[in-house]
Amino acid sequence: MRSLSLFFNNLGGRILGLFYFLGGLSYLTLQTFFFLFKVPFKKRSILEQAEKAGYRSMPIVSLVALFIGVILALQTAVQMQRLGSEMYIASIVALSMVRELGPVITALIVAGRSGAAITAEIGSMVVTEQVDALRTLAVNPIHYLVVPRFLGLLMMLPILTIYANIIGMIGGYLICVYKLHISSTMYINLTFEALKFKDIFTGLFKSVFFAMIIVLVSCFYAFKVEGGAEGVGTATRNSVVASFILILALDCLFTAIFYFIFP
């Protein structure tokens, strides 16, 4: 009886925690969009955040996207060689990168790298009472801290997604041309023939929402930090986990909408 009571207590606590998270995240989202239309903007701060989230993430995005393209081509080649259809590897790599792997993997990398940094940075400011000092100076923390990061990542994640798509297709190109001896011209032509505007649009559309998730979730957990350095670490971990889950859930939803509900 006692164990059953503990089970329902824990279950109720988790459900209440979920509603608290969704409510707080929704409120932060509304505040962020409100301050998006409030001038002035600090262009320098936005560009700094864009550099941190975008330019400095390019090396790890390049490495991961290249390996994904290579692995995808190798795995596909095993089956396609049995069917004598190696030429279709180019189409499979291109569509897989542009529709799913490019946007999702890039968002997960940025969430793990830049999202964690956002939570740790703002969380440290909360712990050291710098955020309270901003309020004392009549500076809204959402306008000063969240909006520049929101705009910077919103601008850079689609660009990073395009970059990851290209690098992934280059990885497939290397395997097909130098391992499977498919002509370079054929690989390029088949890649462009396979890609449609809808495929490119859906990938970039998803990346915009992924950017919103990363920034808003990271900032939400940062503003809720309690307990000093340990609290910052806990908030950073929770923000990364929550961002991963929401990115994958939203990707599943958009895929169902674009390719099954409105094909």
State yes or no: pLDDT of 5 exceeds 80.
no
Structure confidence by residue, pLDDT tens digits, 14-69: 888 888 888 889 999 999 999 888 767 778 888 898 998 888 899 999 999 999 99
Long-range own/partner contacts, residues 193-198 (CB < 8 A, 24 or more apart): 193/91, 194/90, 194/91, 194/94, 194/95, 195/94, 195/95, 195/98, 198/258
Structure confidence by residue, pLDDT tens digits, 161-178: 999 999 999 999 999 888
State yes or no: pLDDT of 11 exceeds 90.
no
| 0.85 exceeded by pTM | yes
Residue 151: band (very low, low, confident or very high) from pLDDT cuts 50, 70, 90: very high
Mean pLDDT of all residues belonging to the chain: 89
State yes or no: pLDDT of 71 exceeds 90.
yes
Q: How far is CA 118 from CA 23, 35, 50, 149, in A?
A: 21, 19, 12, 8
